[in-house]
């Protein structure tokens, strides 16, 4: 098998597993990160992120000398950019921030040589790979001698080490030669199909995958709001509708979170706001669902307050952005809890997957069940599904299921 020297720029959830996997496949890997703590941790053979099996890959790759981390980019034949692509905060349509990608491109400009592969893996708006080329040209690089391509990452956190190998990959070069050469490189460590296209289609492909999920969840969330008004159990309804051979409705919840599905559709909307009408509405519907959830909790709290003649205690079950993980990024459940907390409600937050939270104290499930007047299911964690259908104090407690935990 052909092996290369590879410089992976950005050693987070995507870059570090990729670097460790490449090393395990025989490539000589220099990882590079601007965060010195990340570099030190990796060079001790340890990891700074939570991901099953990653520790064993990193420990072994560092021990056998195939992976070493640096604070500056190192000379290589292949450069892979795995840096963050958030959006700029502000009013109006969120605008993608590709500053990290362009900074990473500038940082390797002095090292690249004819024939090198330059691969962008960060989720990026259409046109970013071309901009990366423009930046390199501006730095005096002979870009016509390089093979530059976009290859989006589509792994599921929690299964990254498996999916990096098994998933099909889409490779979009700025030229057909670049597509071909980069595809060859991916075949050295990917068992899934390596699918060839051009750079802008590959960029759009990643954004399309996450927008598809977002729009489909928005449909379920919109249904849930309509059904609540009609006193129809939306989970029963969806189960029945899904018995149609060509219907497959997703599950509603308190919104959509995470750093991908809640973010990437905006990259399409920002570039073409006049035409991306459904995608924009999907985002807005999913964001609205969290506000609607807050209102439902406030109504339940007002009823409990009238019944008890005191301020009710509200227990919120779940903070993560989806079931059975510890990731709170862009989580609508966190937004709900924070908002109620800021409005002066007596809130107990229960999140079995984390130990502490910087903004509010966490309670155990037992304390919540013993002391809450209003019990709100925000995330369908497995611990909550094990609760009996009739809760111990349910006569004295209002139960509000916003994620289908009781329907399970």
Ligand X SMILES: NC(=O)c1ccc[n+]([C@@H]2O[C@H](COP(=O)([O-])OP(=O)(O)OC[C@H]3O[C@@H](n4cnc5c(N)ncnc54)[C@H](O)[C@@H]3O)[C@@H](O)[C@H]2O)c1
Chain positions contacting ligand X, by CB under 6 A: 9-15, 32-35, 38, 82-85, 100, 103-104, 107, 122-123, 153, 155, 157, 260
Closest distance of CB 382 from ligand X, Å:
21
Give whichever of 186 and 360 is closer to ligand X, judged by the CB atom. Answer: 186
Give the whole-angstrom CA distance, residue 385 versus residue 105: 47
Closest distance of CB 88 from ligand X, Å:
15
Instruction: Collect all residues with Cβ–Cβ distance below 8 Å to 342 and sequence separation of at least 6.
Output: none
Which two tokens mark 273?
């706001």
End-to-end CA distance of the chain: 49
Give the whole-angstrom CA distance, residue 397 versus residue 375: 7
User: Distance of CA 114 to CAs 6, 63, 118, 145, 182, Å?
Assistant: 15, 32, 11, 5, 15
Closest distance of CB 282 from ligand X, Å:
18
Give the whole-angstrom CA distance, residue 152 versus residue 160: 14
Closest distance of CB 104 from ligand X, Å:
4
Give the whole-angstrom CA distance, residue 21 versus residue 1: 15
Give whichever of 121 and 351 is closer to ligand X, judged by the CB atom. Answer: 121
Give whichever of 12 and 127 is closer to ligand X, judged by the CB atom. Answer: 12
Give whichever of 222 and 324 is closer to ligand X, judged by the CB atom. Answer: 324
Where in the sequence numbering do the catalytic residues fall? 206, 260
Give the whole-angstrom CA distance, residue 331 versus residue 328: 5
Give whichever of 85 and 331 is closer to ligand X, judged by the CB atom. Answer: 85
378 near 403, Cβ under 8 Å? Answer: yes
Closest distance of CB 251 from ligand X, Å:
21
Residue 222's Cβ-count burial label (10 Å; 0-12, 13-18, 19+) is: middle
Nearest position to ligand X, beta carbon: 12
Closest distance of CB 274 from ligand X, Å:
25
Give whichever of 157 and 332 is closer to ligand X, judged by the CB atom. Answer: 157
57 near 162, Cβ under 8 Å? Answer: no
160 near 51, Cβ under 8 Å? Answer: yes
Closest distance of CB 277 from ligand X, Å:
24
Instruction: Collect all residues with Cβ–Cβ distance below 8 Å to 185 and sequence separation of at least 6.
Output: 4, 78, 117, 119
Closest distance of CB 41 from ligand X, Å:
11
Give whichever of 103 and 225 is closer to ligand X, judged by the CB atom. Answer: 103
Q: Is the dihedral of CA 196, 198, 203, 208 positive or negative?
A: negative
- Backbone region of residue 329 per phi and psi (left: phi > 0; alpha: psi in -120 to 50; beta: other values): beta
Residue 234's Cβ-count burial label (10 Å; 0-12, 13-18, 19+) is: buried
Give the whole-angstrom CA distance, residue 115 versus residue 263: 34
> Where is 126: in which H helix or E strand?
none
Residue 175, helix vs strand vs coil: coil
Give whichever of 82 and 316 is closer to ligand X, judged by the CB atom. Answer: 82
């Amino acid at each position: 098998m052909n092996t290369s020297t590879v410089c992976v720029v950005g050693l987070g959830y995507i870059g570090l597993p990729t670097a460790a996997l490449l090393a395990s496949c025989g490539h000589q890997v220099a990882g590079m990160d601007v965060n010195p703590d990340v570099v030190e941790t990796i060079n001790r053979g340890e990891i700074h992120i939570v991901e099953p099996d990653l520790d064993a890959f990193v420990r072994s790759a560092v021990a056998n000398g195939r992976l070493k981390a640096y604070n500056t980019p190192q000379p290589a034949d292949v450069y892979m950019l795995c840096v963050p692509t958030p959006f700029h905060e502000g009013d109006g349509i969120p605008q993608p921030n590709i500053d990290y990608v362009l900074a990473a491109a500038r940082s390797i400009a002095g090292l690249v040589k004819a024939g090198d592969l330059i691969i962008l893996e960060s989720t990026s708006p259409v046109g970013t790979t071309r901009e990366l080329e423009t930046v390199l040209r501006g730095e005096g690089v002979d870009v016509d001698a390089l093979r530059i391509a976009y290859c989006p990452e589509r792994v599921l956190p929690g299964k990254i080490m498996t999916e990096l190998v098994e998933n099909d990959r889409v490779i979009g070069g700025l030229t057909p030669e670049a597509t071909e050469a980069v595809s060859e490189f991916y075949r050295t460590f990917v068992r899934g199909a390596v699918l060839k296209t051009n750079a802008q289609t590959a960029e759009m492909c990643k954004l399309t995958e996450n927008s598809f999920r977002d729009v489909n969840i928005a449909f379920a969330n919109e249904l849930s709001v309509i059904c609540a008004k009609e006193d129809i159990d939306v989970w029963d309804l969806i189960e029945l509708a899904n018995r149609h051979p060509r219907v497959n409705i997703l599950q509603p919840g308190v919104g959509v979170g995470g750093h991908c599905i809640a973010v990437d559709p905006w990259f399409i909307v920002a570039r073409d706001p006049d035409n991306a009408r459904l995608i924009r509405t999907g985002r807005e519907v999913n964001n609205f669902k969290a506000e609607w959830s807050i209102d439902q909790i406030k109504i339940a709290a007002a009823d409990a307050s009238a019944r008890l003649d005191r301020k009710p205690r509200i227990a919120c079950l779940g903070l993560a952005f989806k079931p059975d993980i510890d990731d709170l990024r862009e989580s609508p459940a966190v937004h709900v809890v924070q908002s109620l907390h800021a409005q002066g409600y007596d809130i107990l937050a229960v999140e079995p997957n984390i130990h502490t939270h910087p903004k509010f104290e966490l309670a155990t499930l037992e304390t919540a069940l013993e002391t809450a007047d209003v019990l709100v299911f925000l995330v369908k964690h497995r611990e909550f599904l094990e609760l009996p259908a009739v809760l111990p104090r349910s006569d004295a407690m209002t139960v509000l299921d916003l994620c289908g935990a009781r329907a399970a």
